[in-house]
């Protein structure tokens, strides 16, 4: 074990929520030399990490009792609140001067409230939502957007470097979530443009591969066009990032923009379309399943 790994192994981490995203993120922390305690409602998810050196906790409280830094990667704001503050939650086991890093995508307003409640207990909090999907989580190449104290951010940099490639300090607590919601707005709008472009090409009788090659070679290219449209052409709607989670994020986006006075028409439009996809029962499909709103 090199000197850096020895130092990292002294920092005891806890990870709550080791599913599709959290599981590979936790695995990368273990590979980087961190000691890790894990908890998930699905114990089988935790068991996958035991061969890499993880210990399994029976509750968020037990995770906190064993950890200097507790990381949460959970589906939504209420579940994060429950993990932190409910009976047998993180706050019941926090060590003095412990830190909480929430890497979920949740409400910016909720994040600030949680931070105040933790600060009253002497605990620092960072919000650090991620972008890059399961592939980024597995490869350790996530984009991580971090809000909170700059000094705490700097101290936690080795943790972030084990999971991500582009790590950006965005300012005070809550700014990480706000930055992630800007990301979701731009991404969902790009997806809608790519889907509608494909539909237009088909209706016009254009050769689709030729059209996509031409469009993708210029300024209209995007990650969505390059990665999700080929999946649509193969009728592959398996979720990397599901319509359900995108809808949740766009709901958060619209709640936030409403608090800023509204007038964000693209945010309203993509939320409306993802709401329709949910109503049609498409929630389990990947984002690319948005095109099935218009399926004959």
- Rounded (5°) CA angle 142-144-148: 165
Residue whose token pair is 């809000």: 147
Backbone angles phi and psi of 72, in degrees to 5? -115, 140
Backbone angles phi and psi of 200, in degrees to 5? -65, -45
> What is the distance between the alpha carbons of residues 270 and 225, in angstroms, rounded to a whole number?
16
| Residue of 12, 180, 234, 251 marked active site | 180
Q: How many helices (H) and strands (E) does the chain have?
A: 14, 9
The answer to whether 180 is a known catalytic residue is yes
- Rounded (5°) CA angle 274-276-280: 115
**Contact present, 274 and 242 (Cβ < 8 Å):** no
Element (H, E) at 183: helix 175-203
Instruction: Assign 92 to helix, strand or coil.
Output: helix
Element (H, E) at 164: strand 164-171
> What is the distance between the alpha carbons of residues 13 and 16, in angstroms, rounded to a whole number?
10
The conformational region for residue 259 under phi > 0 = left, psi -120 to 50 = alpha, else beta, is: alpha
Backbone angles phi and psi of 260, in degrees to 5? -95, 5
Backbone angles phi and psi of 166, in degrees to 5? -110, 105
Residues 6+ apart with CB under 8 A from 230: none
Radius of gyration of the chain (CA): 20
- Residue numbers annotated as active site: 180
């Amino acid at each position: 074990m090199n000197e850096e790994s020895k130092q990292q192994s002294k920092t005891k981490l806890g990870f709550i929520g080791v599913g599709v995203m959290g599981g590979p993120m936790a695995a990368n922390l273990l590979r980087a030399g961190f000691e890790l305690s894990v908890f998930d409602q699905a114990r089988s998810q935790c068991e996958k990490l035991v061969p890499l050196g993880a210990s399994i906790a029976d509750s968020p409280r037990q995770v906190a009792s064993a950890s200097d830094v507790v990381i949460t990667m959970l589906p939504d704001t209420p579940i994060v609140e429950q993990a932190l503050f409910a009976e047998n939650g993180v706050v019941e086991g926090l060590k003095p001067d412990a830190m909480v890093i929430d890497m979920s995508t949740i409400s910016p307003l909720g994040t600030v409230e949680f931070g105040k409640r933790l600060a009253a207990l002497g605990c620092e909090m960072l919000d650090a939502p991620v972008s890059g999907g399961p592939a980024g989580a597995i490869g350790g190449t996530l984009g991580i957007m971090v809000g909170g104290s700059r000094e705490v951010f700097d101290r936690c940099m080795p943790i972030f470097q084990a999971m991500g490639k582009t790590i950006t300090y965005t300012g005070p607590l809550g700014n990480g979530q706000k930055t992630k919601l800007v990301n979701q707005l731009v991404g969902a709008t790009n997806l809608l443009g790519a889907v509608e472009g494909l539909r237009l090409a088909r209706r016009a009788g254009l050769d689709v591969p030729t059209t996509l090659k031409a469009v993708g070679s210029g300024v209209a290219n995007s990650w969505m066009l390059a990665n999700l449209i080929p999946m649509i052409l193969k009728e592959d709607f398996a979720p990397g990032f599901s319509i359900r989670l995108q809808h949740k994020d766009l709901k958060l986006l619209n709640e936030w923009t409403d608090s800023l006075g509204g007038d964000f028409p693209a945010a309203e439009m993509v939320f409306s379309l993802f709401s329709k996809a949910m109503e049609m029962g498409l929630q389990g499909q990947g984002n690319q399943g948005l095109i099935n709103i218009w399926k004959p």
